[in-house]
Chains A and B, each alone.
Chain A
Amino acid sequence: MIELPQLGDDERARYEWQMWTSGHGEEGQRKLKQTSVLISRIGGLGGTVAYYLAAAGIGRLVLAHAGNVKPSDLNRQLLMTTDWLGKARVESAARRLQELNPFVEIETVAENLSNENAKRLVGCADIVVDAAPLFAERFAMNSAAFRQGKPIIESAMYDFDAQLTTMIPGQTACLACLVPENPPQWRREFPVFGAVSGTIAAMAALEVIKLVAGFGETLAGTMCLANLRTMEFRRIAIQRDPNCRVCGGQEPNAS
Chain B
Amino acid sequence: MADTDAFNKLELELRRGVVVLATLSQLRTPRYGYELRQALADKGMPIEEGTLYPLLRRLETQGLLKSEWKIEDGPPRRYYALNADGRKLLKRLTASWQGMNDAMGRLLDEE
- Are A and B physically bound partners? no
Interface residues of A, Cβ cutoff 8 Å to B: none
